[in-house]
Amino acid sequence: MKKNILLGLTGSIACSKAEQFVQEYKEIYNFKIIATHSSKNYLSDKFLAENNVISDWDDLNGSPHIDLARFSDLFIIYPATANFIAKINSGIADDLLTSTVLMFNKTIYICPAMHEEMYLNNKTQHNLLELSRDNIILGPRYGNLDIGDIGYGRMIEPKELYNTITKSKEKIIVTSGPTSEPIDDVKVITNKSSGKQGKSIAIELLAKGYEVIYIHSSSISPIPGAVNYSFNTSKELFELMCDESENTKYIFMVAAVSDFTIEKVEGKISRKNGEINITFQQNFDLIQKFKSQNPHIVCIAFSAQIDNDENFNKLISKNADYLVINNIVENSFGSETNKIKLINKDKLLLNTGVEEKNIVASKIIDSIIK
C-alpha cells in the first residue's frame, strides 16, 4: 500500500525542489499538498494545476485541518521558512498549514531553507532547537544560496529527503571543541580549538539524514536537529561518549582533548601565595580506550600535527580506523578553511587543498561512509 504523505510548502525559492520531489516520487506515495499563500509565488502554474494544491480553508469542505492531519502517515515541511518555523514553535494556527501542524500529533519532518543570516539568527536557532525535541529537523547544510551567496541555509536535496524517510537512520557521534581541565574553581587549562570542523561534520551528517549525537564543548553552541550534550573536562567527554555508544555506527572524534590533566585545587589559588607549581599528569587516550571497549564502532580520530606526515603509527597506536591529519602550522585555529589528509591503516585516502571546512567535512564523510 502506498504511504500517504502530507507535504507542507512555505515561501522560499527552494519550493522548486518540492516540485522535483513530488514529480520523482508520485508513483510511490499519495501526496496531499498544502501551500502557504507566500509559497505560491515560488511554484509553477503547472505544478499548482496538476497537483490539487490546497491553500485556503474553503479549498475543501468541512474541517480540512482535521481530515488532512488524519490522512497522513508522514508530514513533511519542505521547504520550511524562518517565519513558518517561528510560527509553529509558538503554536500559532492562523492558516490551514499551521493549523494542520497543531492537529498532527506525530513527528513532523522539517526541512529549513533560508539565507545564512536568517538560519544563524538566535531566534531561528532557538526555535529549531525547541522543535527538534519532538520533530526531525533535516538540514540545512552549507552550499549555494539565493543571490549567488554561499553559506549555511541550503535545503537538503529531494533524494536525501527520500533516503531519510525510507531508510533506518544510522547513529553517529560527533565530538567537537576544546576540553578544559580545571586548575581550581576559577582557572582552567584549555586549547585553541574553535569546534568549527566538528560542527561542519555534524551539520553535513544531519543533512544526509543521520541521527547525530553532538557532544560539544560547553563553550560552543548546540546544533538544532542533533541530540546535543555539552562537556567541560575530558573525563566528562569520555563519559558522554560511553553513555551514547549503544547502537552507534561511527564516531568522529573531532574534539581537541587535553594531553594532560591536573589535580584540581578547591577554591581559588590566590596571587598572594606567590609562585605556584602545577603538576600535569598524562591524560589517557580517549579514542584508544573507547575503541577497545567498543570494537564494532568505526572510529575516526583527528590529529593536530605540526607536519603533514601520514602518521600510520599514530593511527595504529590509537587503534582507530581512520585518522584525519590537520597541520596546525598551515591551518590556523578558528579559520573557516582547512587542509587535511585522511588515512586508513593501509593508505592515504584523501589529500585536500585549502578548502572551506564544510567542503572538507563533506569530503571526509564521503570517503568513509559509502
Ligand X SMILES: Cc1cc2nc3c(=O)[nH]c(=O)nc-3n(C[C@H](O)[C@H](O)[C@H](O)COP(=O)(O)O)c2cc1C
Binding site residues, ligand X, CB under 6 A: 10-14, 36, 38-39, 81-84, 113-114, 118, 146
The contacts of residue 178 (CB under 8 Å, 6+ apart) are: 190, 191, 192, 193, 195, 217, 219, 255, 256
d(CA 346, CA 300) in angstroms, rounded, equals 14
Q: Please work out, in degrees rounded to the nearest 5, the angle formed at the alpha carbon of residue 235 by the alpha carbons of 244 and 286.
A: 70
Shortest distance in whole angstroms from residue 146 CB to ligand X: 6
Beta carbon nearer to ligand X, 77 or 220? 77
Beta carbon nearer to ligand X, 12 or 362? 12
Q: Please work out, in degrees rounded to the nearest 5, the angle formed at the alpha carbon of residue 163 by the alpha carbons of 23 and 295.
A: 170
Beta carbon nearer to ligand X, 22 or 262? 22
Shortest distance in whole angstroms from residue 193 CB to ligand X: 32
d(CA 154, CA 180) in angstroms, rounded, equals 34
CB 134, CB 107: distance < 8 Å: yes
Shortest distance in whole angstroms from residue 71 CB to ligand X: 21
Beta carbon nearer to ligand X, 54 or 325? 54
d(CA 131, CA 127) in angstroms, rounded, equals 6
Beta carbon nearer to ligand X, 34 or 361? 34
Beta carbon nearer to ligand X, 10 or 100? 10
Shortest distance in whole angstroms from residue 84 CB to ligand X: 4
Beta carbon nearer to ligand X, 114 or 172? 114
The contacts of residue 101 (CB under 8 Å, 6+ apart) are: 8, 75, 77, 88, 93, 108
d(CA 1, CA 159) in angstroms, rounded, equals 21
Which secondary structure element, helix H or strand E, spans residue 69, and what is its range?
Answer: helix 64-71
For the CA atoms of 111, 115, 116, 118, the dihedral, rounded to the nearest 10 degrees, stands at -80
CB 365, CB 205: distance < 8 Å: yes
